Amino acid sequence: MTVMLDLGSHFPTGLTVATLTLAGVLLLAAAARADTPYAAMRPVGFTDVRLEDGFWAPRIRNTIDAMIPHQLRMCEETGRIRNFEIVAGRAEGKHEGLFFNDSDVFKVLEGMAYCYALEPSPNLLAEMDRLIDTIAAAQQPDGYLNTHFTLVEPDKRWSNLADMHELYCAGTLIEAGVAHYDATGDRKLLDVALRFAECIWSVFGPGKRDGYCGHEEIELALVKLAETTGDGRWLALAQRMIDLRGQGHGAEYCQDHEPVREQDAIVGHAVRATYLFAAAADLAARSGDEGLVRAMDAVWEDTVSHKMYITGGIGPSASNEGFTGNYDLPNDTAYAETCAAIGLAFWGKRMTEFHGDARYADVVERALYNGFLSGVSLSGTRYFYVNPLASRGDHHREEWFYCACCPPNVLRVVPTIGGYMYGASGDGLWVNLYAASTASVRVGDTDVQVVQRTDYPWDGDIKVAVNPASAAEFEVRLRIPGWCEGATCEVNGASVDATAANDGYLHIRREWRRSDVVSLHLPMPVRRIEANPAVEADRGRVALMRGPIVYCLEGVDNGGVVRDICLPRENNLTATMRPGLLGGVVTITGHARCAPALGWQDDLYRPARDTADKTITAVPYYAWDNREPGEMTVWIPEAPGLAG
């Protein structure tokens, strides 16, 4: 059977095929090289955006200066790099650590490549070369590369795809190879990745063994490999792996319970699920596959309507590192893995680009500024794996983890933040996120320089200079965040209607000339947020937000105790910029009530407690546990009966 290709609607669906015709391969190659014709916008890559703000740019600087050397040292000390040296014959010993530890090294390399793309450095290049030489020397003659199986179970390759992460590790290698090639123009890591991909194709390609990984990731990587090489086989293999999933009697844990196109709820392991549907969005943008679109839309809606924390964290349960039932969002025991917030941002970015709808970018913003950023300390060298929304003082960041997926995942995201800011289409410039930056964007046939000036997320005043190479008519589409009410806008000093369209963007069509300036004002009052009453943990409580930032009460600012605080609805709250605190943050202060905790001993009842006035200070949730250890809470009771 041959693959039937119609790029006007789909490229191969249901790739249970024996062969690809030459014509089919050529059509797939065209799809691999093409833009995403079914997406509303194409992304503006992070290398085309120079961040110049006081929020993200310092974090990129810190990633280069502190995070990379720290994570390299951790990979050395924990044997992750030594495993490759042993396989390469450059050291003696036994495999150390978990069977998927190779992936951490590959993700660190990917992050290093992204940093190098932003700021080429001879030292960084030499460090990457050293690692790549070791990795290349560990590759087997047939292209296979996995230190665990080569050293521990050489006769069990591909014997347990559901649990042993071989294809997951391969995917992280491919992503690193693509990143390194894009950053340096050097093919040596890309060639290692390609040889492994060819090995995988020889085993799992069309007409070969049916196989896919229990931990999704390689599907995302294969799309990137197709784009870089122009070889459509990698798109075909990514789709084949998605199409095979759920055909047997798999588990919800790895989204294998039913075919992907029939899924309508987010289930199982949170990271795996978001990676799967991010890959589905990648394929849908290239194929227009209506079944994938229906599934990813339905699963997205279930995620953000029923199963997402206010921080953009997802996956409340430690038992499966993932999802339970609707509205099950406990605070003290929230798992909300850092990698899951990253996966949600990956997926949301693709949904934003596919649909051209600001509500997806709203979720990306929520995840990046809160659930993702909480996963790394201000120093860049300590991390949360788990991100609870309340703590009694016993939850702290660590330098590293035995299962260390989160730190290198953070490393590979921070330098790419600029790639989340802008999008482009044939007749439009899209501003999806706000940060002081300069970007180069191609709108239709016109090169446009975009210069954004703002103190976002602390201030909602934004100026966007639109500088086309020559006068051109197109739309500038500015996201009006879902949290914002009362936005105002001017173009060259003249007021324009700032009402967002149904897609959540303010559309401004005109002939743009160099030095035209759009001035957007997004009011940022302190907001009290309530949860759906079905969220049992948050009944009678409020969370505080200002702009995109979620706040928390931390013991160090509030006399050491926050669990006895209640915040009556009528009490006023004030936002104040504190340049010297936590790297420079806006805090929220105000009057609350304190209901001191009293021991119950064996009493069943007691008189209601008196409350006392208390001045409180709330800080951004992402910044907690960077000072003295202590209690923390995001959701604050409004009445004293819930305090404690």
Q: What are phi and psi of 450, to 5 degrees?
A: -115, 125
User: What does the block give as tokens for 558?
Assistant: 């509030």
Q: 567 near 605, Cβ under 8 Å? A: no
Pairing of β 541-546 and β 526-529: antiparallel
Cα–Cα–Cα angle for 190, 192, 195, nearest 5°? 110
- Strand segments, DSSP code E, in 262-346 are none
CB 79 within 8 A of CB 61: no
Which of 75, 254, 405, 489 is labelled catalytic?
405
Q: Which tokens is 400 given?
A: 């590293």
Closest CA to 135 of 117, 116, 109: 109
For residues 350 and 237, give the distance between their C-alpha atoms in angstroms, rounded to a whole number: 20
How far apart, in whole angstroms, are the C-alpha atoms of residue 616 and residue 566?
10
Has 403 been annotated as catalytic? no
Contacts of 484 (CB under 8 A, 6+ apart): 460, 522, 523
Q: How far apart are CA 618 and CA 624, in angstroms?
A: 10
Q: Where would I find the beta strands (DSSP E) of 271-332?
A: none
Enter the tokens of residue 55.
């929020």
3-state secondary structure of 391: strand
- Residue-wise DSSP of 134-166: HHHHT--TTS---HHHHHT-TT-TTS-TTTS-H
Rg of the chain taking only CA atoms, in angstroms: 25
Instruction: Say which DSSP state 45 is in.
Output: P
Q: Bridge-partner residues for 317, per DSSP? A: 322
500: which residues sit within 8 A by CB, 6+ positions away? 358, 480, 487, 506
Helix, strand, or coil (residue 257): coil
> How far is 178 from 191, CA to CA, in rounded Å?
9
270-287 and 218-229 helices, crossing angle to 10°: 30
Neighbours of 143 (CB within 10 A): 17
Strands 612-620 and 516-521: unpaired
Helix (H, G, I), strand (E, B) or coil at 471: coil
Of the candidates 85, 175, 321, 365, the residue annotated as catalytic is 321
Burial 52-61 (b: 16+ CB within 10 A, else e): ebbbbbebbb
* Strands, E assignment, 14-170: 42-43, 49-51
Annotation marks residue 321 as catalytic: yes
Tokens coding 555? 């013991």
Q: How far is CA 158 from CA 92, 117, 146, 154, 163, in A?
A: 26, 35, 11, 10, 10
How many CB atoms are closer than 10 A to CB 9?
A: 12
Rounded Cα gap, residues 363 and 357, in angstroms: 11
Nearby residues of 595 by Cβ (< 8 Å), 6 or more positions away = 564, 565, 566, 609, 610, 611, 640, 643, 644
Indicate which residues carry an active-site annotation.
321, 405
